[in-house]
Structure 1
């Protein structure tokens, strides 16, 4: 069976009874654009016929759309015509996004860019500027006059047919095209459907970008797979007014939603008292939380902020996954609520998970639904027992075919065999452990900082730093080799929110807080302007890229407190930093006494490692 057959069967079954509705926030009023399953199928057949007529079968097409229904109809049209769709962010004028899109076009052998009429002119000019206009055609699908739906003939499509490519976001490496088949799609949608309780009907609400795996698989495609309705808005609308998301849940009586941790935190802190007073979240039964570290504080903050509006703690569903496994690998089933446990931090540094009443809080990522999950020593390939931290390996129907035109990288990632010969497994590159059937994720192998034989997870350092002062935002912690491994934290700061504190005072406070919480006698703190910390298109921290920018003197430095060993390697640019940025301290012991509480050092690492 193919995903196209599933969509067509659902369209036949539900016709105009089920639908997708794109919601626009018009100064507090909702504007709605609706497309039923039957209309969506007709649109996909028309687009499929048009693409087939353009001889695009088995060719790649880059989909660059704003949020809305046009993307969904075109994406399904690609599936219907056996065109390999490549969803990607609409680059507009961001140089990094334009560079990424150009790289994808070249890497994926893209023949056609599909977009809407509002962006066709800009993209056509850009293709001309980079010398790709002769090789790549740019088409606005919303102004086409495609053949009627009856002109479509289903091509030969099987479970192993390549459906689309999801380009990874490149948080630790260059973006790679993950090849997903129709069987992968069907298997992962079934996993999600089972996690949310296998409903025969239901309503979902969301706003996630359609070019990310969580937005595409978890939000957009799940309704038509399961047979439910979806109401969704644009990411920009959510960021501008986060109450919109909560209001949509109440208005449409949504039973489930999916989002990364930061989105829930954004709502807990940005929704006003007046807005919260008018909410009704009592219909929500399943709130998937993933794509980045899930923080216990966020879980508690949401419950405290919206408990009066009907938000229940049992609705939380932390999950883990990645693009290489389509999306979900493990999930917390409907009604179970989050599993939060405390573990000895010293033992975790030695890759052992030892429960401790006053230890670090970790949020469980749920359990495998039908996938096989092993925790394997990446060096010896020995399967580790419960409570031992090592690399997470995965096997099952959701695991992708491999990376597009990257045979060696595909073998490294997708052909993992344990010492006993069991395999092949997908090697996720993530560290974690299993305990009583629950998976806990502790970080990325490439991101772990090893100091004096201790394994420090950057997420913990970053979260602890963020609590020191309200002016602080995103951070990137990493190690730099300078006669030994040295810990560096690059921390974004909003200078207008320093409230009288000096930048140097705040930097030293961070040193002191992290020094005490993690036993670090020496570390460097670099404060940078907002946006100075490298992030992927999905918002994940690019630690290695930030490290390179620091060493290259390209960060917008506000102030730096550097150890003597680092000062010779990482001297901030004087134009961005100014003379005060070159202060050097030998140890954090000389820092000021303004610190975070010990609890600020606690963070959890449950995450859907979103690939796009």
Structure 2
């Protein structure tokens, strides 16, 4: 369990005693040592908006040093991996940083609340520990039974919580890292069946947090970050924890599971603490809008006028959802210009490109036929009857990066042509840890990373249109599953997240498009009517004739970061694990 104390005040937003440095350090240890000279820090809240614990970066550093010295004393060697369950707590951030003082690699992994059941979670946890060859598992006390099951036979040096670890005897001099040493391993969102731990060096981390803080969000002296994002995901770990530390910003954390129950807790803390920067995938904005619509009093006493950077990333950016958020919360001070689209991935530490601060969402209205491969060169805002698609400008790449858009033969395309996005820069991962074959499949000898994302460049800005591996091909034509899902979600009775568009094998090895729709309708006749209406609606909107299968509520699989996993949905359906409703 997390040890908590009732605090009466948060760490301050302003600090006139310490000049801001934008991650211009060699290592994470150097960054913490500098931040500890100031008075800013990290604060932890519950879903009611109550402050649970508050630590200055100095206090974080003091705890981290004790943990690091004890890691060395208890036999952990440079480069050992420690599986670290990522609860939103001071214990987590102190232990993560304590590992740096021993040159041990923390491996943040999700809590059991991210999974559907105990057995699935234990299996997932064991697979990731085996993948990184973990030497220890540090988890909250309530997880002791699951921890022991997951670690059975792995011969770990330690299994337990922070209190049990600190109760051990021993103290030794720290074992400090160098710039090119690994800082941690980050499991990417899609790595649930075949885990891929992204290996991030201190140099990569410092380069990326500098780029995001200085160029991306353009940090100001009076900035304060608010976050509900999980620490096991790159946006939560790097974006809201490590960037705030390395750029000396005060930050307020709300546990992800608390946000899921009471999403407006995010906005309450933003309002109370005059937060200026916060990030979320599109669905976070969506559930806040939906919850506010359910309660007339939801926005009483809230003021979002201080929010200057409302970042969006982590999945495909949906302008319709963001417009609805602004329509709901503009009345309490939220500015439409605060939206800041971005693009990133764990394999690049985090951030790759950012829109312009204060500009809001910029849309490229593009003919759908041009996005799916009928033609290769895009012509925006064409005046004809073709169906249009809104593509969001994800902004200019950070200065450290080179970006190329390539065709299927890896020829570099000109601006305005859709292809696969390749990235090269200091923040690109060193490898998938312990997996040279998979590393070679995405990372070239000269440092070019195949992101697996499809996009195009326009006037030096990056536009992302989808994932290459999710493409549905019917009769030689490409269809983005996001488009089919969006069309389905416009029908009454369907919520965002209820739909997965996949393809299944048909006759003559052809692909057949299918919609898996979570259904809450009880009567068989009503279900049949719903299927017929959904099929006609999607065909009318996209021209795609889809098979429809209804599945139970909450049955569509998600990644560890909460995103829909179409690959898992397809595999589960074809294997019979995901059963359709009769």
TM-score normalized with structure 2 length? 0.88
SS at match of 2:151: helix
Within 5 Å, give how 1:544-559 maps onto structure 2. Answer: 544-558=567-581
- What CA distance in whole angstroms lies between the structure 1 residues aligned with 2:503 and 2:264? 39
Which residue is equivalent to 2:526?
A: 502
Closer, same or farther: CA 375–65 of 1 in aligned 2, 3 Å: closer
Q: What is the CA deviation profile of residues 203-258 of structure 1, one whole-angstrom value per residue up to 9, with x for unaligned ones?
A: 11111111111110111112211111111111111111111111100100001001
Which residue is equivalent to 2:29?
A: 4
Closer, same or farther: CA 261–49 of 1 in aligned 2, 3 Å: same
- What CA distance in whole angstroms lies between the structure 2 residues aligned with 1:74 and 1:172? 24
Which residue is equivalent to 1:513?
A: 537
Question: Please, which of 453, 464, 468 is the counterpart of residue 487 of structure 2?
Answer: 464
- What CA distance in whole angstroms lies between the structure 1 residues aligned with 2:447 and 2:149? 45
- What CA distance in whole angstroms lies between the structure 1 residues aligned with 2:343 and 2:238? 14
Q: What is the CA deviation profile of residues 67-90 of structure 1, one whole-angstrom value per residue up to 9, with x for unaligned ones?
A: 211100000001121001100012
| Residue 280 of structure 2 is aligned to residue 280 of structure 1 | no
Which residue is equivalent to 2:144?
A: 120
| Residue 125 of structure 2 is aligned to residue 96 of structure 1 | no
- What CA distance in whole angstroms lies between the structure 2 residues aligned with 1:306 and 1:148? 53
Which residue is equivalent to 1:354?
A: 379
Question: Please, which of 41, 44, 49 is the counterpart of residue 61 of structure 2?
Answer: 41
Within 5 Å, give how 1:139-178 maps onto structure 2. Answer: 139-145=160-166, 153-170=173-190, 174-178=194-198
Contact 2:366 2:380 in 1 (8 A): yes
| Residue 63 of structure 2 is aligned to residue 52 of structure 1 | no
Contact 1:2 1:157 in 2 (8 A): yes
Within 5 Å, give how 1:200-219 maps onto structure 2. Answer: 200-219=221-240
- What CA distance in whole angstroms lies between the structure 2 residues aligned with 1:378 and 1:355? 20
Contact 2:342 2:355 in 1 (8 A): yes
Report the Cα offset of residue 202 of structure 1. 2.1
Within 5 Å, give how 1:243-258 maps onto structure 2. Answer: 243-258=264-279
Structure 1 residues 251-260 or 452-461, which shifts more?
452-461
- What CA distance in whole angstroms lies between the structure 1 residues aligned with 2:33 and 2:169? 16
Which residue is equivalent to 1:74?
A: 95
Report the Cα offset of residue 349 of structure 1. 1.4
- What CA distance in whole angstroms lies between the structure 1 residues aligned with 2:207 and 2:233? 18
SS at match of 2:516: strand
- What CA distance in whole angstroms lies between the structure 1 residues aligned with 2:359 and 2:525? 44
Question: Please, which of 387, 392, 396 is the counterpart of residue 363 of structure 1?
Answer: 392
SS at match of 1:317: strand
- What CA distance in whole angstroms lies between the structure 2 residues aligned with 1:346 and 1:535? 30
Contact 2:88 2:253 in 1 (8 A): no
Contact 1:534 1:545 in 2 (8 A): yes
Q: What is the CA deviation profile of residues 349-369 of structure 1, one whole-angstrom value per residue up to 9, with x for unaligned ones?
A: 124422125721111111112
Which residue is equivalent to 2:417?
A: 388
Closer, same or farther: CA 173–343 of 1 in aligned 2, 3 Å: farther
Within 5 Å, give how 1:205-354 maps onto structure 2. Answer: 205-271=226-292, 272-350=295-373, 351-354=376-379
Contact 1:348 1:354 in 2 (8 A): no
Report the Cα offset of residue 292 of structure 1. 1.1
Contact 1:532 1:556 in 2 (8 A): no
- What CA distance in whole angstroms lies between the structure 1 residues aligned with 2:222 and 2:180? 29
Contact 2:421 2:453 in 1 (8 A): yes
SS at match of 1:21: strand
- What CA distance in whole angstroms lies between the structure 2 residues aligned with 1:542 and 1:186? 31
SS at match of 2:36: helix
Structure 1 residues 75-84 or 351-360, which shifts more?
351-360
Closer, same or farther: CA 366–405 of 1 in aligned 2, 3 Å: same
Closer, same or farther: CA 122–553 of 1 in aligned 2, 3 Å: closer
- What CA distance in whole angstroms lies between the structure 1 residues aligned with 2:36 and 2:41? 10
Closer, same or farther: CA 349–125 of 1 in aligned 2, 3 Å: closer
Contact 2:192 2:559 in 1 (8 A): no
Report the Cα offset of residue 159 of structure 1. 1.3
| Residue 568 of structure 2 is aligned to residue 536 of structure 1 | no
Q: What is the CA deviation profile of residues 34-86 of structure 1, one whole-angstrom value per residue up to 9, with x for unaligned ones?
A: 11111000001000001111221221100014221110000000112100110
Contact 1:339 1:364 in 2 (8 A): yes
Report the Cα offset of residue 455 of structure 1. 1.3
Closer, same or farther: CA 293–239 of 1 in aligned 2, 3 Å: same
Question: Please, which of 158, 171, 194 is the counterpart of residue 137 of structure 1?
Answer: 158
Contact 2:123 2:150 in 1 (8 A): no
Report the Cα offset of residue 412 of structure 1. 1.7
- What CA distance in whole angstroms lies between the structure 1 residues aligned with 2:192 and 2:466? 12
- What CA distance in whole angstroms lies between the structure 2 residues aligned with 1:451 and 1:284? 44
List gaps (5 residues or longer) in structure 2.
Answer: 1-25
Question: Please, which of 430, 438, 447 is the counterpart of residue 401 of structure 1?
Answer: 430
Contact 1:117 1:143 in 2 (8 A): no
Structure 1 residues 178-187 or 90-99, which shifts more?
90-99
Closer, same or farther: CA 543–121 of 1 in aligned 2, 3 Å: closer
Contact 1:264 1:298 in 2 (8 A): yes
| Residue 48 of structure 2 is aligned to residue 22 of structure 1 | no
- What CA distance in whole angstroms lies between the structure 2 residues aligned with 1:396 and 1:260? 24
Q: How many pairs does the alignment contain?
A: 541
The Cα RMSD (Å) is 2.2
Contact 2:417 2:456 in 1 (8 A): yes
Contact 2:49 2:265 in 1 (8 A): no
Contact 1:49 1:147 in 2 (8 A): no
Q: What is the CA deviation profile of residues 281-330 of structure 1, one whole-angstrom value per residue up to 9, with x for unaligned ones?
A: 00000011111111111111111101011100111011111110011111
Report the Cα offset of residue 409 of structure 1. 1.3
